[in-house]
Amino acid sequence: MTTTTPTTPAAPVTGVDAIQRHLNMGEMVLVAHLMSLPGDARMSAATALRGRSRADAVRFAHSADLAARNIELFAAVVGSGVVTAEHLDLVWGRLNRQMVTVPLARQEEILGHLDAAVNTHVTPWLRAATAPVSLTELRDRVDEAILDIAPGLAAETAVAEEDSATLRRRGNTFIFTAGCETTSAAIDAGLEKKVRDLLAGLRRERLLLPEEEQTSLPTPSQLKAQILMELLGNTPETMTIRVNLFRATRDGIHGTGAGYVAGVGWVDARTADRFEGAATTVKEIPLDPAEHPESDGYPFLLQDRNYLEGRDATCRFPQCTVPANLCENDHIVNSPATDPTSDGPTSVRNGQKLCRPHHRLKTAGTWTCSTPDDGFTIHWTGPDGRSYTTHATGPLARAWHDTPDDPEPD
């Protein structure tokens, strides 16, 4: 018989600073682990281990990149609990943004000089900190270090950023970031003028209507969105988009009940009816993988691509949430078209949806995977030897698993 000695539970961490430091040191443990991996595997490992957003994985990957590059800085903070991965990501961002005008051949050299400046101006301050430090103060100290060693580079970066802009999407929200306040103000002023002109015209039109037919005017923010949409040559009413709606059917043609759209999720029956009414093509997709024959070529057939989208719902990499309609089609066992030593068929039973970054890592062999059940379950092994399992969560997978087995014959 084996006996074990009971262990005394660890004393609770008390005090705000103590709790913060305890949590922060946990993040540094993950950063230290990611440091041990190849640079191109850090973000995917962070995604699999954390199971949070892409932005979260990027933050930890950047932190590990900085820690691997600047050992002195990381050694000063790894056990103190005064910084988080967000702090290290901030330092990474303030330094790497200076590379926008630097030729690729010189970036490693210039980053080395900037890291040295950080170790002169910032690392001693972090080493002496007795409580979690402010992100704002850390930002200011890093910027001061950059201005001290490379004022010309900082000026060139500022000029380059004035001429830049970015547009990011989060769900149904688009975030447009102008390069500087001057550009932002100019864009807003232009939009405001157009909005005022539109509102004036709408008010005049409304006055011509009988009072009982007059309605509320659109808000300025709605009109700004309309202006930007019209710049694309489209409005929500005229824009043509391709959407796959997955829905149960009784006759193979007409849907019934709620529907599923990759990237959106489940929609109510009324919305599904509206989508179906606007559809130009309606096709029945067999649930049984065995009813999808192998293809002789390398690309997946359209019906097979649609099946994988409806089966997987998202990228099949551990914890990745990129919608399947934005993913690429991957052969779980490599196709001989890309790997002459492999014999993976082009079939839904050997297919999965992977976002482009995770598809590249799988193709490169950084991550490996296999399936025991025609793609419904995927077993992954990461570059650190850890194993993960993902399951298809789309409507076709759920419907297939809910399908009753054939009854036993009498």
Give per-residue pLDDT as tens, 75-119.
999 999 999 999 999 999 999 999 999 999 999 999 999 999 999
Looking at the structure, tell me whether residues 35 and 134 fall in a common domain. yes
| Long-range contacts, 209-212 (Cβ 8 Å, 24+) | none
Q: And the tokens for 403?
A: 């399908």
Any residues with CB less than 8 A from the CB of 403 and at least 6 apart, and which?
287
Looking at the structure, tell me whether residues 191 and 300 fall in a common domain. no
pLDDT, position 181: 66
3-state secondary structure of 114: helix
| Long-range contacts, 404-407 (Cβ 8 Å, 24+) | none
Residue with tokens 């850890």: 386
Helix (H) or strand (E) holding 311: helix 302-312
Domain that includes residue 273, residue range: 245-278
Q: Would you place residue 4 in the very low, low, confident or very high pLDDT band (cuts 50, 70, 90)?
A: very low
Residue that terminates a domain, selected from 182, 211, 240 = 240
Q: How many domains does the chain have?
A: 4
pLDDT at 302 over 70: yes
| Long-range contacts, 176-180 (Cβ 8 Å, 24+) | none
> From residue 231, how far is each of 191, 198, 222, 223, 227 by CA, in Å?
12, 15, 15, 13, 6
Looking at the structure, tell me whether residues 236 and 250 fall in a common domain. no
Q: In the chain, pLDDT over 90 holds for what percent of residues?
A: 61
Q: Is residue 407 part of a domain?
A: no
Q: Is residue 5 part of a domain?
A: no
Residue that terminates a domain, selected from 163, 179, 211 = 163
Looking at the structure, tell me whether residues 37 and 121 fall in a common domain. yes
> From residue 44, how far is each of 50, 60, 64, 294 by CA, in Å?
10, 10, 12, 31
- Average pLDDT over the chain reads 89
CA distance 332 to 369: 7
Over the stretch 71-86, which tens digit does the pLDDT of each residue have?
999 999 999 999 999 9
Q: Is residue 1 part of a domain?
A: no
Over the stretch 355-406, which tens digit does the pLDDT of each residue have?
999 999 999 999 999 999 999 999 999 999 999 999 999 999 999 988 776 5
pLDDT, position 174: 82
Q: Is residue 410 part of a domain?
A: no
Orientation angle between helical segments 104-121 and 135-149, nearest 10 degrees = 120
CA distance 136 to 24: 17
Looking at the structure, tell me whether residues 231 and 306 fall in a common domain. no
Looking at the structure, tell me whether residues 317 and 349 fall in a common domain. yes
Is 318 within 8 Å of 388 (Cβ atoms)? yes
Q: Is residue 157 part of a domain?
A: yes
- Could you tell me which residue, 167 or 130, shows the higher pLDDT? 130
- Could you tell me which residue, 268 or 240, shows the higher pLDDT? 268
pLDDT at 203 over 60: yes
- Could you tell me which residue, 36 or 236, shows the higher pLDDT? 36
Q: Is residue 9 part of a domain?
A: no
3-state secondary structure of 368: strand
pLDDT, position 3: 47
pLDDT, position 28: 97
Looking at the structure, tell me whether residues 250 and 381 fall in a common domain. no
Looking at the structure, tell me whether residues 217 and 265 fall in a common domain. no
Residue with tokens 């595997």: 41
Looking at the structure, tell me whether residues 24 and 148 fall in a common domain. yes
CA distance 71 to 280: 59
CA distance 186 to 238: 29
